């Protein structure tokens, strides 16, 4: 599943007339960069949710060449946030664990597909959620204190108050659909599912091999384009 329903408020004025998933970075729309990553990793089918400027996203995806095949989860009537959006899309996703990516998740790839690495590391016997994590200190455009600390097995804990942790969620994960069985109606954040997995010591992470690009503001967009240009030299 690709989350593409957000309002992109921090990217204004760029997103006043262009939905954030369609903002071009280094010559390609952000959503295309993620969909290409998924296709390269062997993903054949994807669900994309839409809300803000939904017609533009649907038109763009209809014209897209190459995989994966795309089904639309329509949230025009009400924005459901990340967790509620997944719940609405579950009938399209099926009963097996599924990949989820934010449409603005971007990185410079290492020698091996990070999505493929994530699927190979996935172990449903130990994990309910597996997150792709980036190094908070060296990522482009990120100025926070990190999200998680990770032990040698990949098990995660959240950043404590006034603590700086080495890893930030890079916007790609694998989820068990069972975590949404008793989900509330309407809008809610996927942090609820993170915390459910944490409570059972079943929230894990895998460090991204490459360089993460946090494109949250117009300045972050400019920085990301500079990094991409340098990577092509």
Q: What is the pLDDT of residues 145-184, one digit of tens each?
A: 999 999 999 999 999 988 899 999 999 999 999 999 999 9
Give me the CATH number covering residue 22: 3.90.550.10
**Domains in the chain, number:** 1
**84 and 39 in contact (C-beta within 8 Å)?**
no
* Residue-number span of the structural domain to which 222 is assigned: 2-231
Burial call 158-191: b when 16+ CB within 10 Å, e when fewer: ebeeeeebbbbbbbbbbbbeebbeebeeeebebe
CA 222 to chain centre: 20
Report residue 230's pLDDT band, with 50, 70 and 90 as the boundaries.
confident
Confidence of residue 231 (pLDDT cuts 50, 70, 90): confident
Query: pTM value?
Result: 0.93
* Predicted pLDDT at 126: 97
């Amino acid at each position: 599943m690709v989350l593409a329903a957000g309002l992109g408020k921090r990217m204004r004025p760029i997103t006043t007339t262009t939905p954030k998933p369609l903002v071009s970075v280094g010559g390609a729309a952000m959503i295309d960069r993620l969909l290409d990553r998924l296709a390269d990793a062997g993903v054949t089918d994807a669900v994309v949710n839409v809300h803000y400027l939904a017609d533009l996203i649907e038109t763009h995806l209809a014209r897209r060449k190459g995989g994966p095949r795309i089904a639309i989860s329509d949230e025009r009537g009400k924005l459901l946030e990340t967790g509620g959006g997944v719940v609405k899309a579950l009938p399209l996703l099926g009963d097996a664990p599924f990949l989820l990516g934010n449409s603005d998740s971007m990185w410079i790839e290492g020698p091996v597909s990070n999505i493929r690495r994530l699927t190979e590391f996935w172990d449903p016997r130990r994990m309910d959620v597996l997150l792709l994590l980036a190094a908070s200190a060296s990522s482009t455009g990120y100025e926070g204190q990190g999200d998680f600390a990770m032990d040698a097995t990949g098990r995660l804990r959240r950043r404590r108050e006034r603590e700086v942790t080495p890893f930030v969620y890079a916007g790609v994960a694998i989820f068990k659909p069972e975590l949404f069985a008793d989900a509330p109606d309407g809008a809610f954040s996927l942090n609820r599912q993170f915390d459910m997995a944490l409570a059972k010591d079943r929230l894990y992470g895998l460090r991204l091999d490459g360089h993460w690009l946090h494109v949250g503001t117009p300045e972050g967009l400019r920085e990301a384009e500079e990094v991409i240009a340098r990577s092509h030299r």
